[in-house]
């Protein structure tokens, strides 16, 4: 899968906008991403392998919240987009 990162997270990937990762599920792909770039872990995962609630993930344009969340199956040619939620007042 090809994971597209927002500009804010690209500082943790040496400027790479897209990172190729493998795995059968979105969670496996994200675990590989943080293995390649450990400083991303606190942005992607809240604790252990629980997704941070302030990120939104889309697979081929579909929100994983309406699929099988982090257990959503992926194919090697899938495109995953990470978007950060905005919070504040």
pLDDT digits (tens, 9 = 90+) for 11-48: 999 999 999 999 999 999 999 999 999 999 999 998 87
Residue scoring higher pLDDT (60 or 89) = 60
Least Cα distance to 3 among 52, 68, 76, 65 occurs for 76
Residue scoring higher pLDDT (85 or 41) = 41
Res 49: pLDDT: 78
Question: What are the Cα distances from residue 28, in Å, to 11, 31, 53?
Answer: 22, 5, 18
Which tokens in the block code for residue 4? 């597209």
Res 66: pLDDT: 94
Q: Is residue 53 classed exposed, middle or buried when 0-12, 13-18 and 19+ CB atoms within 10 A define those classes?
A: exposed
Res 58: pLDDT: 97
Q: Domain 2-84 adopts which CATH fold?
A: Ubiquitin-like (UB roll) (3.10.20)
79 has a pLDDT exceeding 80 = yes
Domain boundaries, given as residue ranges, for the chain = 2-84
């Amino acid at each position: 899968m090809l994971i597209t990162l927002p500009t804010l997270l690209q500082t943790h990937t040496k400027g790479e906008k897209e990172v190729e990762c493998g795995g059968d599920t979105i969670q496996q792909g994200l675990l590989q991403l943080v293995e390649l770039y450990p400083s991303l872990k606190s942005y992607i995962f809240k604790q252990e392998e629980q997704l941070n609630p302030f990120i939104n993930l889309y697979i081929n344009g579909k929100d994983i919240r309406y699929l099988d969340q982090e257990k959503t199956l992926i194919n090697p040619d899938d495109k995953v987009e990470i978007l950060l939620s905005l919070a504040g007042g």
